């Protein structure tokens, strides 16, 4: 039952569940599990892995996530080489030849969706809607569709529509916009000093009116909007995401163990949930950290249950 689950998503260590992880999943019942390259050797192996996870929950629609952007962020690299198909590649194609873009991107999404369905994954953490700037951190780079916020928004709509068409749910990121970050939030807290008017016009724009059921927050401090807390921990920014950007779905933190968040794990979790995030994402499969995340994550509330039911309805 959905109502028994806790409001976090966890990573796992290898290509099959170890005894500790089986115990962990049964006892703490995370909302979902996210896979990385370390978990995927081939299609058959990964299908057995995802089936073993779903069997624990007796749930064929149990949320299994992946971060499969293509380009340099690919978790399917043991199965297929998608290194040339970066967001930048499709962004440039959109501007140069829309007919080609339309054909190529449809085929790309169809094939990726086929692979994800084959290995038992039902949620992909795309599209990345961060607008690239001249001084953006390299962590963004060719992961962005480009510098034009309207084009980024349109490609985002295209991506969401076609992944949905092929049975894969999406998670837009990094809301409300990571493009102005000059440092990597895996290591440091990016600080953005731009005013709300410019942010609304450019960085926040691609996230508006998106039909994705999930979104991932940015570990970025928008100094003019909240001088103390980065978006993931900020009530002010989460309120803006809900009221100005008008995202109504499930809000998931970016990885809660990243150095962009300054507090210890329990405090980061507490502040993120109090700010208005719905689910905590923890990726590194460090068992000691997994226990901390699980023990500090409450059971899912009515909002998450309602939205998860919508997600399940989509997957039927």
Where does the pLDDT of residue 178 fall: very low under 50, low under 70, confident under 90, or very high at 90 and above? confident
* 86, 71 contact by CB (below 8 A): yes
Where does the pLDDT of residue 141 fall: very low under 50, low under 70, confident under 90, or very high at 90 and above? confident
The mean predicted confidence, pLDDT, of the chain is 95
The confidence score (pLDDT) of residue 86 equals: 97
Q: Compute the average pLDDT of residues 168-181.
A: 94
Tokens of 287: 């068992």
Tokens of 244: 């100005």
Signed CA dihedral, 82, 254, 207, 144: sign only: negative
| Lowest-confidence pick of 132-146, 201-215, 216-230 | 132-146
Q: 78-91, pLDDT tens digit by residue?
A: 999 999 999 999 99
Of residues 15, 13, 63, the one with CA closest to residue 43: 15
Where does the pLDDT of residue 181 fall: very low under 50, low under 70, confident under 90, or very high at 90 and above? confident
Task: State the maximum Cα–Cα separation within the chain, in Å, rounded to a whole number.
Answer: 52
Q: 243-262, pLDDT tens digit by residue?
A: 999 999 999 999 999 988 99
Percent of the chain predicted with pLDDT > 90: 92
């Amino acid at each position: 039952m959905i109502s028994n689950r806790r409001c976090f998503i966890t990573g796992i260590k290898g290509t099959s569940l170890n005894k500790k992880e089986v115990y962990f999943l049964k006892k703490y019942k995370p909302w979902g599990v996210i896979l990385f390259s370390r978990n995927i050797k081939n299609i058959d192996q990964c299908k057995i892995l995802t089936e073993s996870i779903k069997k624990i929950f007796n749930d064929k629609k149990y949320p299994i996530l992946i971060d499969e952007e293509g380009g340099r962020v690919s978790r399917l690299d043991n199965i297929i080489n998608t290194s040339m198909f970066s967001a930048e590649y499709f962004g440039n194609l959109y501007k140069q030849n829309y007919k080609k873009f339309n054909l190529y991107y449809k085929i790309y999404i169809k094939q990726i969706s086929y692979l994800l369905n084959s290995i038992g994954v039902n949620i992909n953490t795309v599209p990345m809607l961060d607008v690239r700037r001249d001084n953006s951190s390299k962590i963004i780079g060719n992961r962005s569709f480009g510098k034009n916020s309207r084009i980024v928004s349109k490609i985002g709509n295209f991506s969401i529509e076609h992944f949905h068409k092929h049975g894969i749910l999406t998670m837009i990121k990094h809301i409300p916009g990571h493009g102005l970050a000059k440092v990597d939030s895996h290591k440091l807290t990016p600080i953005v000093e731009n005013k709300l008017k410019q942010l609304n016009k450019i960085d926040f724009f691609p996230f508006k009116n998106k039909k994705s059921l999930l979104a991932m927050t940015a570990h970025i401090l928008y100094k003019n909007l909240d001088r103390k807390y980065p978006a993931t921990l900020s009530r002010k920014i989460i309120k803006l995401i809900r009221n100005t950007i008008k995202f109504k779905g499930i809000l998931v933190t970016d990885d809660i163990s990243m150095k962009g968040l300054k507090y210890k794990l329990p405090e980061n979790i507490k502040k993120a949930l109090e700010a208005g995030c719905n689910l905590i994402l923890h990726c590194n499969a460090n068992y000691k950290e997994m226990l901390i995340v699980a023990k500090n994550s409450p059971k899912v509330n009515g909002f998450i249950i309602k939205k998860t039911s919508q997600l399940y309805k989509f997957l039927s």
